């Protein structure tokens, strides 16, 4: 087995291997440990949700005979597993999740020898999964992949596994290794599909899944930042106080007991993999875990954290607000670059890009003004930077637009448009004003986009406005 793939420490002083036991890998807390824990806890929350929705099974409590039989029916690869072995799986899952849900918590996690032998029979691991009885970083990933059983593995976990854990492997080899992992582990590892209750009724499951992935990453960063602000950075402990205890002992929250309850409530939802549109029972009361609840709670948390000590938390809240905005706004910005930049636009691409831009603007506006007003409140006064990655463009150059508000233009014309050198018969044209050197700017009907006078305009919070024109 290869034991030389190392963890990217992102400038940290520690050097880690994928075959390091967890207690060794987490001995010193730096940004790499934060990224790895964020990935593992994300996968754990998905698994928690999977077992709850599919089997009405709480993984923190030993499964009964009937529950276990339901699991085996849907999960034939464990048809020969005993109930006692499954209880060992549950215990190991809880230990892995707990150590990753607390940034500074570090203690050995032991791999039951019989369970280890059982799993190796099912799929040969590519690296060492234990050392002297302790589970390794790869062993934890291997075990959680087994337990997830082709449910939707969190995309960020795969990303961290490929880029952080396999730091010393070049991109091509990483891609090949990912294919090999899926092939060798195909008995229990697959792309999977998101798990939703049968009664779900929602606008777009793709949007909901993507926003939930954004939420998971953002909330993990926020909760870890709370720990960093209250505890000591670069500190590691075998036993860490509960999150609720940390908040209650923090003097800043003495007069804000209600917000402590809301923070703990939100963390409980995060810990157990709750998603938007879930109905959640918390302390005997039902409530809807939806976007409004998350945005309102985060806004109130940010308002109360008025001291410099918690600047890190406030910054993470602002970053989450920006990520929610990016999910809808970046598509129109990206396509606008592809239409307005004369280095990117070609005759064969004009119509398809206009169509993509015209679809992007209604999608943005469909969220309503209240949504963007809430995001603006989270983001704060800073002028947002909208960054489109290099791979999105044929010249492999990234683009950045700095604007508050962004200006989106909506044109109507029965005669079509001339974009740079290319004529189109489309009657509608949607564009974002983007930061672009005038030398490369395609004019619209011979006029620079920013020089058009508005017929009327509509503000959707301070983040952006829509300017309408009839030509």
DSSP-assigned states of every residue in 198-209: TT---S-HHHHH
**What would the pLDDT profile of 12-31 be if each residue is shown by its tens digit?**
445 677 788 999 989 888 88
Cα dihedral 18, 21, 23, 26 in deg (nearest 10) = 0
**pTM of the predicted model as reported, rounded to 2 decimal places:** 0.86
Distance CA 455, CA 462 (A): 20
Q: What is the pLDDT of residue 413?
A: 92
User: Which residue ranges of the chain lie beneath pLDDT 70?
Assistant: 1-15, 149-205, 232-236, 238
Least Cα distance to 17 among 34, 3, 30, 28 occurs for 3
Least Cα distance to 85 among 47, 111, 65, 115 occurs for 115
Q: What is the pLDDT of residue 466?
A: 96
From residue 147, alpha-carbon distances to 88, 126, 142 in Å are 12, 17, 9
Please list, in sequence order, all residues whose beta carbon lies within 8 angstroms of the beta carbon of residue 21, skipping any fewer than 6 positions away. Answer: 108, 130, 131, 132, 134, 135, 136
CB 461 within 8 A of CB 373: yes
SS3 of 241, please? coil
Tokens for 79? 């048809």
Distance CA 438, CA 464 (A): 22
Cβ of 177: how many Cβ atoms within 10 Å? 17
Q: What is the pLDDT of residue 326?
A: 95
Phi, psi of 469 (to 5 degrees): -135, 145
Distance CA 106, CA 209 (A): 31
């Amino acid at each position: 087995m290869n034991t030389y793939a190392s963890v990217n420490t992102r400038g940290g002083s520690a050097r880690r291997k994928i075959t390091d036991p967890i207690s060794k890998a987490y001995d010193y807390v730096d940004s790499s440990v934060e990224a790895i824990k964020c990935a593992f806890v994300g996968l754990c929350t998905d698994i928690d949700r999977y077992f709850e929705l599919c089997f009405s099974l709480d993984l923190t409590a030993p499964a009964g005979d009937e529950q276990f039989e339901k699991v085996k029916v849907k999960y034939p690869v464990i048809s020969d597993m005993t109930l006692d072995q499954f209880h060992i799986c549950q215990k190991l899952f809880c230990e892995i999740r707990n150590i990753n849900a607390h940034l500074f918590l570090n203690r050995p996690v032991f791999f039951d020898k019989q369970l280890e032998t059982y799993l190796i029979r099912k799929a040969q691991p590519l690296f060492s999964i234990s050392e002297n009885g302790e589970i390794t970083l790869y062993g934890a990933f291997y075990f959680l992949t087994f337990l997830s059983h082709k449910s939707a593995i969190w995309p960020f976990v795969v990303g961290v596994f490929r880029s952080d854990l396999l730091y010393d492997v070049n991109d091509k080899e990483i891609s090949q290794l990912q294919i090999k992992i899926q092939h060798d582990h195909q008995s229990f590892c697959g792309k999977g599909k998101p798990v939703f209750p049968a009664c779900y009724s929602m606008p777009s499951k793709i949007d909901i899944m993507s926003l939930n992935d954004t939420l998971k990453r953002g909330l993990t960063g926020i909760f870890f930042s709370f720990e960093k602000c209250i505890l000591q950075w670069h500190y590691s402990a075998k036993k860490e106080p509960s999150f609720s205890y940390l908040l209650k002992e923090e003097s800043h929250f003495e007069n804000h007991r209600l917000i402590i309850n809301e923070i703990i409530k939100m963390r409980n939802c995060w810990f157990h993999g709750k998603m938007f549109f879930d109905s959640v029972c918390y302390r005997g009361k039902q409530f809807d875990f939806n976007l409004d609840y998350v945005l309102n709670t985060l806004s109130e948390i940010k308002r109360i954290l008025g001291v410099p000590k918690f600047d890190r938390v406030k910054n993470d809240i602002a970053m989450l607000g920006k990520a929610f905005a990016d999910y809808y706004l970046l598509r129109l910005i990206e396509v606008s670059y592809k239409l307005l930049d004369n280095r990117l636009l070609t005759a064969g691409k004009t119509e398809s890009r206009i169509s993509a831009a015209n679809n992007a603007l209604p999608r943005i506006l469909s969220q309503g003004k209240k949504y963007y007003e809430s995001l603006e409140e989270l983001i704060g006064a800073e002028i947002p930077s909208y960054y489109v990655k290099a791979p999105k463009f044929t010249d492999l150059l990234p683009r950045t637009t700095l604007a508050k508000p962004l200006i989106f233009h909506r044109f109507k014309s029965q005669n079509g448009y001339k974009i740079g050198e290319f004529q189109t018969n489309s009657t509608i044209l949607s564009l974002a004003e983007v930061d672009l050197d005038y030398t490369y700017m395609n004019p619209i009907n011979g006029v620079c986009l920013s020089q058009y006078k508005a017929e009327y305009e509509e503000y959707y919070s301070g983040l952006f406005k829509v300017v309408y024109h009839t030509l």
